[in-house]
Amino acid sequence: MLVLILFAAFGSIGFGLSLAALLWMTTILCAVLATLRRERVFAASLNHWDEMIGYTALYCAVMALIQPSGN
């Protein structure tokens, strides 16, 4: 997560949008890795699917924070 924040800090489109894009790419990467490794979705141990859900939640939180208010 620290690496994502560090790269987002130097993004040319702003910190929030850069972090959101990096979180979205990480979500897709986790899904691809889980598929390639044929990991079970509801396994007893943590795997890439669980990591994907965590990054998706962080992406949604970042997007909710950077959305302009309706005022």
Choose the weakest-confidence range: 1-5, 29-33, 42-46. Answer: 1-5
> Using CA atoms in the order 59, 61, 63, 66, what is the torsion angle rounded to 10 degrees?
-140
49, 39 contact by CB (below 8 A): yes
Q: What is the pLDDT of residue 71?
A: 44
pLDDT, one tens digit per residue, over 5-36 is 888 888 888 888 899 999 999 999 999 999 99
Per domain, the residue ranges of the chain are 2-66
pLDDT, one tens digit per residue, over 47-66 is 999 999 999 999 999 999 98
Q: Six-digit token pair at 23?
A: 């979180």
Q: 2 vs 36, which has greater pLDDT?
A: 36
